[in-house]
Amino acid sequence: MPQINHFKRWIRRDTTPRRWGTWLMSTAAATAEALGHAGFDFLVVDLEHVPVDANETIHILRAIGNTSAQAVVRLAWNDAVLAKRALDSGAQTLLFPFVESAAQAAQAVSAALYPPAGTRGVAAVHRASQYGADTQYLAQANTEICVIVQIESPTAITAFDEIASTPGIDAIFVGPGDLAASLGHIGQMNAEPVQTALRELAARSHALGKPCGTVAPTPELAARYVEYGYDFIAVASDIGFMMRKAGEVLAQVRS
């Protein structure tokens, strides 16, 4: 059966509840599957900062597909080849990092969509088309692909309205880590200029009719992003959960 992108439908609907996710940093398919069963709405498969190859990506996507969670694949760069490989592997929602202009946003859209809407290369048999069993894949793929661009620099903030208004952009994602660094507050996401930018970008995104998402290292910071109006929020990561709990347990037993 054709694959429906539930994540794309979720973020399109104003009446849909806020969606919660987490980041996958461990490269482990079993961890991805477990977190999907834990109840997260979406899981971010990070190909930018995590050493995951194409074959491992397929295993992780297959594991997530065994749960109710949706996969959001962050590419290593805004690159047509990387986008094509992720899409052929079965990704439907792509997160393009470090987009700073409308031209770069349009480049991301073009890489994600088949002609005539874009320039994605065509293959009939791959995991996304169920190895050719989904005979409607080529005709329906563009409808189900979700393109998200990541805002994480002052240059991107300046061009925000043009980026968000680019045809084919489904949502905006604000990356607080790189945003903090680019604003001169590396490692300090709670710094006032960073939080001001996060609050203002959510408002600007909604004014343009675009859903917006971000990531928070803690539930407390996530609650603040709810107040700002973010529509989908990733909280911490698989490794973050493990390290935090490990620290708590070690503190208890050593005391």
User: Could you confirm whether 206 is annotated as catalytic?
Assistant: no
Q: Is 81 within 8 Å of 87 (Cβ atoms)?
A: no
Catalytic residue among 37, 49, 59, 126: 49
Q: Where are the alpha helices (DSSP H) in 154-234?
A: 154-158, 160-164, 176-182, 192-207, 219-228
Measure the CA–CA gap between 147 and 94, rounded to whole angstroms: 5
Assign 30 to helix, strand or coil: helix
Helix, strand, coil percentages for the chain (3-state, nearest 5): 50, 15, 35
- Give the amino acid at 224: R
Q: Is 64 within 8 Å of 33 (Cβ atoms)?
A: yes
- The string of DSSP letters for 131-158 reads GGT-TTHHHHHHHH-EEEEEE-SHHHHH
Active site residues: 49
